């Protein structure tokens, strides 16, 4: 009888722990999700204003692009949050003094969780925002390209810090457009080269059409660069 009672208590404790972890994950998505919405609105105000009557602003929205940052959130900040809270949830009974010690020991990981959450939830907004082709302001706006990073950039964690950043170049400076294997688009000009990433070729070609339709560049797409 005692064994069965203990087993039921263990199962109840495990279930309660899982419910608490799910609640914490939900609170994380609500808290930082509001920041995602706010950052997305900021991007819209900054880059997607329609301007004067007759202006042409095209937005290429690749909705599947949000899957990558969403997965990164689940296996990054959410996992860190779970691991930080697990020792506390396993305590029986919970002792406040010990909880304080655990939180102090875990403080670097809690700071890491907070930092990653801010960056990755903003990255989610950037991924949903997509690409802007604005012929009136002579610019194309897209997610920051990390192709040119060197070893020091990775040591300095720029590959994480730059995830929520946007980049823009002048449409009139685009001298060449290439598309190689996959759904990536490359633009070349006096600014150097930039890669614009899409999840499928349809969105990539929609972006190419928007660039050419702007009338600010005569860049063509060489057929030999298209490989299936």
> pLDDT at position 97, please?
85
Would you tell me the crossing angle of helices 77-89 and 2-47 to the nearest 10 degrees?
150
**Cα–Cα distance for residue pair 55/137, rounded to 1 Å:** 9
Give percent of the chain above pLDDT 70: 86
Tell me which residue range forms the domain holding 212. Answer: 2-225
Helix intervals (H) in the chain: 2-47, 67-75, 77-89, 96-105, 107-129, 151-155, 158-161, 201-213
pTM, entire model: 0.84
Query: Considering its fold, how many domains does the chain have in total?
Result: 1
| Bridge partners of residue 186, in order along the sequence | 178, 195
Query: Quick one: pLDDT band at residue 228, thresholds 50, 70, 90?
Result: very low
Q: Give me the residue label for tokens 């298209």.
A: 226
pLDDT tens by residue, 55-85: 578 899 999 999 999 999 989 999 998 888 8
pLDDT class of 107 with cuts at 50, 70, 90: very high
Say which residue the tokens 């057929």 belong to.
Answer: 223
Other C-beta atoms closer than 10 Å to the C-beta of 134 total: 24
pLDDT reported for residue 18: 73
């Amino acid at each position: 009888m005692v064994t069965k009672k203990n087993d039921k208590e263990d199962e109840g404790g495990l279930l309660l722990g899982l419910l608490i972890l799910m609640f914490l994950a939900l609170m994380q998505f609500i808290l930082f999700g509001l920041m995602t919405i706010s950052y997305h609105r900021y991007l819209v105000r900054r880059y997607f204003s329609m301007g004067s009557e007759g202006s042409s602003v095209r937005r290429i929205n690749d909705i599947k692009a949000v899957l990558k940052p969403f997965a990164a959130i689940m296996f990054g900040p959410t996992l860190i949050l779970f691991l930080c809270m697990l020792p506390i949830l396993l305590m029986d009974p919970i002792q406040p003094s010990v909880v304080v010690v655990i939180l102090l020991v875990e403080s670097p990981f809690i700071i890491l969780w907070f930092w990653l959450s801010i960056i990755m939830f903003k990255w989610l907004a950037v991924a949903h925002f997509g690409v802007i082709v604005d012929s009136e302001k002579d610019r194309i706006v897209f997610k920051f390209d990390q192709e040119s990073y060197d070893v020091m950039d990775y040591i300095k964690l720029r590959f994480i810090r730059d995830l929520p950043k946007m980049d823009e170049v002048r449409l009139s400076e685009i001298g060449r457009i290439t598309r190689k294997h996959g759904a990536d688009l490359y633009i070349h000009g006096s600014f150097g080269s930039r890669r614009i990433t899409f999840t499928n070729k349809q969105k990539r070609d929609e972006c190419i059409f928007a660039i050419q339709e702007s009338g600010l560049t005569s860049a063509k797409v060489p057929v030999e660069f298209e490989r299936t």
